[in-house]
Structure 1
Amino acid sequence: MKIAFNAIRVSNRAGSGFDTFIINFVNEFARYVYSQKLNIDFDIYTFYPQHFPEVKKENIKQVKILFWKIAGSAAKTPNHTDTLKHKIFNQLSGLKNFLADYLRIFWTQFVFPFLARKYDLTVALTEYDAALFINKQMVIVHNTVPFLFPDFPTKYRFYTYQLLPKILRKCKIITVSNILKEELVNMFSLDPQKISVVYEGVDQKIFHPAPESEIELFKKRYQIAGDYILAVGHSHPMKNFSGVVQAFSLIRKNHKINLVIAGYADKKLPLSDGMIFLGHVPNDKLYILYSGAKCFVFPTWHEGFGLPPLEAMACGCPVVVSNRGSLPEVCGEAAIYVDPDKPENIAQEVLKVLNVLNVLNDDVVFNQMIKKGFEQAKRFSWEKTVKDFLDIFGKFSENAYLEK
């Protein structure tokens, strides 16, 4: 059987959750298939082959269309914050991202279906990369936020609300959590038998406790003075950075600690003393940031899976997360849960962690928190993700779920 993976969602910079999933999954899939000498022929379609070092060159199909080189480009943001040069850069970056987004949609809907004819199966690695005119298709769904929170900003509104439901009703679906499967069944009256669950993974080779010397060098480079709480994510309202900032203002009344935000946080967030915005931090440096944090806070309103808390656990960082979406399913008993609607609750639970560290100095309680985190993170690996996918793929290849 010959498979085509649609991986054009991956950007040059590769800093999003989609990027993390696709890059890790595809590389592990290739490594496993080659090492086990499985009788599976596959091709990867992507703008940026450099993200897939485990894939042989003959299995990489680089997509080249008009403007492809600027699609999702990764030019570094100037250090200036309020200059005309910076404003022009932001406008050009926005235009590039706009072009990138719609080039991906256009290619997937109108070019990929012709290429797909020579394959027995295509795999859309995100829900935004599924094609209406491909029948033998498997779609990996990562979240249902546009349907749960229709007032939140949504890209590709026509595709999301008009085409995606039609696509999901005619193909095999994989979700990254059980709660996501339940949501899809309820939203679209889908047959549960057509939906399988495959968890994401944590790369233990990257995410592990960093030595103190590396932490100190990292803090010096990014000008982080003293202890800090960490939040990671992008500017989508679902990430609830406003709740984090409100909770931090309450925390600062009791602890002179910093709040470090890594990722593309909303520039409209109110700034206060102790807040540090780092912007994009590469994955190969992120483990240092997790390792140095006194607490990782992730009070999002909804997650389809929620990988950052597991990454933090793998680095030995205590985790405070939302009690909604997939997070209780994924984090188990290794996290402290909060109501994301209540900043005072977020602050209260973070303060409990800080009190264990700084006031009570209770090594036993702290070590138990860290141990639970390590154990939980080890339950999720990319090798297991690939093995679970291949098990589903085996059933799919026998036409068990194909609609006639």
Structure 2
Amino acid sequence: MKVVFFRHSLLNRGGDKMIVTHANHLVSLGNDVCFMTSAVDTVFTLDPRITITLLSPPHKPGTILSALTSMIAADLIIADIIPIACCLFFRNRSKVVYFAQDYDESYYSSLFLKGIMRCCYFLGLALFRIPVIAVSRTLADILKQRFSAQVTVAENGVDTTVFFSDPMPNLIAMKGGRRALLILSRGDWRKGFDCAQSVVHRFAETSYIPFEIWTVGESCVGLFPGCTHHHFGYVDEEQLRQIMSSADVLLYPTRHEGFGLMPLEAMACGCPVVTTTAVPYVVHGDNALVTQIENCQMLVEYLQELLVDDTLRHHVTESGRRCAAQHTLSDATRQFAKVLTGI
């Protein structure tokens, strides 16, 4: 079977990681796998048997134009952004599969852009009946209820051979007795980095606990004034495991998630999580401390509670490990390949 992953770019986000993982698994099963994309700049390792076709011109309008005009020689064409899936449908019809890693409306705060995404969903799922693979049951339910979509679930998972408790002495020593709050730095509005800044500011004003900020992802130097801040940038999975294993808590104030891979990776590393109800698998007081979206004051209180209560921290950490063990990457890749075969 020839499978083409059609997307604008292949970078360093959780969604990119899952795309690469599925592509590597499919090629290991003997499938012919190709990426059609405008840019490849990723820390994730692609199987050398995967081919890459670079789109031209290399910008978003060029990607849209290519999706609209290209008749692609493949058995299945997978797009994980709904406008791209709709554009591909015009020339490729039944070959197109929408891999829903989130609800694309959530990427935007603008009502105009949200409206465009809603129209694309209606066109692609309700009218064109493009089949959908969703990364969580919560996301699948949204697409079924709003657009009567044909959805099969293939949940994301964590590779527990890569993500496990592995604290590094140099990182522990770097803290100097302070608690390290790990935060994902990403400008995407739905990830809630602005909320994280607000939480840190309030925590610094009200807490007596000595702490410092650790960030991974996009550059954010100078955005936590008055705090000791270490920015690690984009890191590979080994480095991320060591950072998560050495941090004291992952603060993840996301506004919307299709699945939310980073909290699960933190759980596997024994790093307790403070997050929001946007993450579908978290249970407050069990595998994480969870508040309503944008409730910064409760996030501050939960950070304080988690860092001072050893019994609670131990319970959340151990429940988090069990949660990670129930969502393995091997199960995710097997299910994804099975669903594609069915389609």
TM-score band, normalised by shorter chain: 0.7 to 0.9
In structure 2, the partner of 1:201 is: 157
CA-CA distance at 1:145 after TM superposition = 4.6
Task: Tell me the SS of whatever aligns to 2:35.
Answer: strand
In structure 2, the partner of 1:139 is: 98
Q: Could you list the runs of 5+ residues in structure 2 that have no partner in the other structure?
A: none
| 1:202-351 mapped onto 2 (5 Å cutoff) | 202-213=158-169, 215-216=171-172, 219=174, 226-252=178-204, 253-254=206-207, 255-264=209-218, 271-323=225-277, 325=278, 327=279, 329-332=280-283, 333-351=286-304
In structure 2, the partner of 1:94 is: none
Among candidates 34, 39, 51, match of residue 44 of structure 1: 34
The residue type equivalent to 1:106 in the other structure is L
Q: How many residues in Structure 1 have an aligned counterpart in Structure 2?
A: 330
Change (3 A) 1:280 1:61: closer
Among candidates 110, 125, 129, match of residue 168 of structure 1: 125
Identity of aligned residues (%): 19
Contact kept, 8 Å, 1:127 with 1:139, in 2: the verdict is yes
Q: Could you say what the CA RMSD is over the residues aligned between the two structures, in angstroms?
A: 3.1
Contact kept, 8 Å, 1:15 with 1:282, in 2: the verdict is no
- CA distance in 1 between partners of 2:108 and 2:80 (Å): 23
The residue type equivalent to 1:238 in the other structure is R
| 1:8-27 mapped onto 2 (5 Å cutoff) | 8-11=7-10, 14-27=11-24
Contact kept, 8 Å, 2:183 with 2:214, in 1: the verdict is yes
Q: Deviations over 1:201-255 (max 9, x none)?
A: 11223222224325348x59xxx98431111141122222222222222322322
- CA distance in 2 between partners of 1:49 and 1:321 (Å): 29
Change (3 A) 1:52 1:316: closer
CA-CA distance at 1:129 after TM superposition = 3.9
Change (3 A) 1:52 1:135: farther
Task: Tell me the SS of whatever aligns to 2:282.
Answer: helix
The residue type equivalent to 1:314 in the other structure is A
CA-CA distance at 1:103 after TM superposition = 3.1
- CA distance in 2 between partners of 1:279 and 1:212 (Å): 18
- CA distance in 2 between partners of 1:321 and 1:123 (Å): 30
Change (3 A) 1:64 1:237: closer
Aligned: 1:5 with 2:1: no
CA-CA distance at 1:271 after TM superposition = 3.1
Contact kept, 8 Å, 2:252 with 2:263, in 1: the verdict is yes
Change (3 A) 1:54 1:42: same
Among candidates 26, 38, 63, match of residue 29 of structure 1: 26
Change (3 A) 1:102 1:279: farther
Aligned: 1:366 with 2:284: no
In structure 1, the partner of 2:47 is: 54
Deviating runs (4+, > 6 A) in structure 1?
265-268
Q: Could you list the runs of 5+ residues in structure 1 that have no partner in the other structure?
A: 35-40, 72-98, 357-361, 397-404
TM-score (norm 1): 0.72
The residue type equivalent to 1:242 in the other structure is D
Change (3 A) 1:161 1:340: closer
- CA distance in 2 between partners of 1:126 and 1:307 (Å): 18
Change (3 A) 1:280 1:120: closer
- CA distance in 2 between partners of 1:343 and 1:281 (Å): 27
- CA distance in 1 between partners of 2:165 and 2:219 (Å): 25
Task: Tell me the SS of whatever aligns to 2:304.
Answer: helix
Change (3 A) 1:262 1:64: closer
Name which one, 1 or 2, has greater alpha-carbon Rg. Answer: 1
Contact kept, 8 Å, 1:300 with 1:321, in 2: the verdict is yes
CA-CA distance at 1:135 after TM superposition = 1.5
